[in-house]
Structure 1
Amino acid sequence: MKTSIHPDYTDVTVNCSCGNQFVTRSTMSKDTFHIEVCSSCHPFYTGKQKIVDTAGRVDKFNQKFGSFFKR
């Protein structure tokens, strides 16, 4: 590697709005970083995800293509 052309790679504390806090490494110049959603509070990762079915589209899709996914 060439010297003095790469950014500094330092520890950054990430604070989520849910209260979760973790440390990662980044080239950011900040020591702390605030995010709104993390893996501890995002519905996809917590298992609380809801599928919003608009006009029966999910059922229509499952009727048309559901046999492809069954084993």
Structure 2
Amino acid sequence: MKKGIHPEYVECTVTCTCGHTFKVLSTKPTLRIEVCNECHPFFTGKERNIDRGGKVDKFKKKYGLA
């Protein structure tokens, strides 16, 4: 690797909107994020799967064919 052209890695404090903080290595000293593993629905088990149907189902419902 060439010297003097790569950014320096520093310990970075990452702060989520839910209040959870953790440390990683980055080129910036602080990062603010909207979603982390503590508040994301996939990781918390509060995931909702809503089956809204496809275009055919919407068409049938709209014109009363179903």
Structure 2, unpaired ranges of 5+: 55-66
Pair member with larger Rg: 2
- Structure 1 runs (4+) deviating above 6 angstroms are none
Match for 1:32: what amino acid? T
Q: Does 1:25 align with 2:15?
A: no
Q: TM-score, normalised by structure 2?
A: 0.74
Structure 1, unpaired ranges of 5+: 58-71
Aligned residues: 54
1:36-55 matches, within 5 Å, as 36-55=34-53
3-state SS, counterpart of residue 14 of structure 1: strand
Aligned to 2:9: 9
The structure carrying a bigger helix percent of its residues is 1
